[in-house]
């Protein structure tokens, strides 16, 4: 009897001790772009699910580097562009397949969801679903640089020291298209692709005298354009929309050869520990009203069906000015990048950066 009492007392003590220790909050570790997870959305998600969100700001190259270094550990959800999944996954196995039964497909624009599924599929398994989409092209102060319509125009002598760009693949490929090449069509021919990016790299190198500074983060570029130091730049459309809200003379300009189109996705890192929270976040932020909050924060449009109805009127107007139907028809969507091409591009861009 004494043994039974001892067991009961021990169990009660254990229960009391457990109750005295507060439960550890569940956390989603999110590797994403700047402005894709605004605090207001994180708070609403916490209120709805009880899950905290730990945000790490990144970009495509950094996501690959971080996940490659850990074998896909350290994060529960990442947001690479759809064209940056095939190569890294083939080379480094940094992602795990999506369980599409846990995605509320009815929340997505069908054409963007289908495109992302197609472009991130490997051996019949899907590794990413669409979130935000947009383009890369030019941001121009039309009052100060009314004739800039192409990447080549950034290199005109009258704009010496007054333009900016980011030394990454959008600038390299944008210049290639401006030179009359089609780098996407050469993805399957490495020798031809090397010749194209070498030609584009040489053009970027010849343009260096015009570059006030190469931007790395959007804040750098925003400040240079706001101050008037830079009158035109290679940039994302979201940067143009943000500046247009402050100054109607500035907006995104799709290059005459066509803007480069991207879709950023949701993808599960290979060794993520909280897939359940990741799927809850995806389905939460794809609700139209929540998606519109992210659109207003990031300046890029969402794959969420009906979200455009809740976007701020100023942003909607800037988009309509920059993207009439004929411009949308000319968008060149980034296809999946085959393994090895980014390394080739990196060497060309390093050579541009190192030149005088």
* Listed range (1-10, 261-270, 300-309) with the worst mean pLDDT: 1-10
- Say how many domains are in the chain: 2
C-alpha span between 268 and 76 (Å, rounded): 6
Same domain? For 248 and 166 the reply is: yes
Same domain? For 139 and 128 the reply is: no
C-alpha span between 154 and 42 (Å, rounded): 39
Q: pTM of the full predicted structure?
A: 0.80
Whether the pLDDT of residue 14 is over 80: the answer is no
Same domain? For 69 and 207 the reply is: no
Same domain? For 255 and 340 the reply is: yes
Rounded to 5°, the CA angle 84-88-91 comes to: 155
Same domain? For 189 and 40 the reply is: no
**pLDDT for position 136:** 96
**pLDDT for position 354:** 94
**pLDDT for position 122:** 95
**pLDDT for position 355:** 85
Tell which residue, 44, 133, 30, 104, has the closest CA to residue 283. Answer: 104
Same domain? For 199 and 284 the reply is: no
**pLDDT for position 19:** 46
**pLDDT for position 286:** 98
Whether the pLDDT of residue 40 is over 70: the answer is yes
**pLDDT for position 325:** 87
Whether the pLDDT of residue 97 is over 80: the answer is yes
Residue ranges of the alpha helices (H) in 154-274? 169-178, 190-206, 218-227, 237-244
Whether the pLDDT of residue 72 is over 60: the answer is yes
Whether the pLDDT of residue 292 is over 70: the answer is yes
For residues 319 and 168, the answer to whether their CB atoms sit within 8 Å is no
| Parent domain of 166 | 134-260+332-354
**pLDDT for position 328:** 87
Same domain? For 69 and 211 the reply is: no
Same domain? For 343 and 245 the reply is: yes
* pLDDT tens track for 304-347: 999 989 999 999 899 889 988 899 889 999 998 888 999 999 99
Whether the pLDDT of residue 108 is over 90: the answer is yes
Same domain? For 223 and 121 the reply is: no
Domain containing residue 18: CATH number: 3.40.190.10
Same domain? For 138 and 235 the reply is: yes
Same domain? For 244 and 349 the reply is: yes
Confidence of residue 24 (pLDDT cuts 50, 70, 90): low
Over range 103-120, report the average pLDDT: 94
Same domain? For 242 and 269 the reply is: no
In 10 A of CB 219, how many CB atoms?
10
**pLDDT for position 356:** 66
């Amino acid at each position: 009897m004494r043994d039974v009492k001892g067991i009961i007392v021990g169990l009660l003590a254990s229960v009391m001790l457990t109750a005295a220790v507060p439960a550890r909050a569940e956390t989603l570790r999110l590797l994403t772009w700047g402005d894709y997870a605004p605090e207001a959305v994180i708070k609403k998600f916490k209120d709805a699910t009880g899950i905290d969100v730990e945000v790490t700001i990144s970009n495509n190259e950094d996501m690959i580097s971080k996940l490659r270094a850990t074998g896909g550990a350290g994060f529960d959800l990442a947001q690479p562009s759809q064209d940056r999944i095939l190569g890294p996954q083939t080379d480094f196995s940094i992602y795990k397949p999506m369980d599409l039964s846990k995605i509320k497909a009815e929340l997505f624009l069908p054409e963007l969801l289908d495109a992302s599924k197609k472009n991130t599929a490997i051996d019949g398994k899907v590794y990413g679903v669409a979130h935000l989409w947009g383009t890369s092209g030019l941001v121009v102060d039309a009052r100060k640089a009314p004739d800039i319509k192409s990447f080549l125009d950034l290199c005109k002598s009258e704009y010496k020291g007054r333009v900016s760009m980011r030394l990454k693949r959008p600038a390299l490929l944008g210049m290639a298209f401006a030179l009359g090449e089609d780098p996407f069509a050469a993805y399957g021919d490495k020798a031809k692709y090397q010749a194209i990016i070498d030609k584009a790299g040489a053009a970027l190198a010849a343009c260096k005298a015009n570059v006030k500074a190469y931007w790395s983060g959007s804040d750098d570029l925003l400040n240079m354009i706001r101050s008037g130091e830079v009158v035109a730049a290679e940039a994302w459309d979201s940067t143009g929309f943000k500046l247009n809200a402050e100054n109607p003379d500035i907006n995104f300009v799709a290059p005459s050869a066509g803007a480069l189109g991207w879709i950023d996705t949701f993808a599960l890192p290979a060794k993520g520990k909280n897939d359940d929270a990741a799927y809850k976040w995806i389905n939460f932020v794809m609700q139209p009203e929540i998606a519109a909050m992210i659109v207003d924060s990031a300046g890029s449009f969402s794959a969420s069906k009906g979200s455009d109805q809740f976007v701020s009127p100023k942003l909607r107007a800037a988009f309509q000015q920059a993207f009439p139907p004929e411009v949308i028809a000319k968008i060149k969507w980034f296809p999946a990048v085959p393994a090895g091409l980014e390394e080739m591009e990196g060497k060309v861009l390093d050579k541009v950066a190192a030149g005088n």
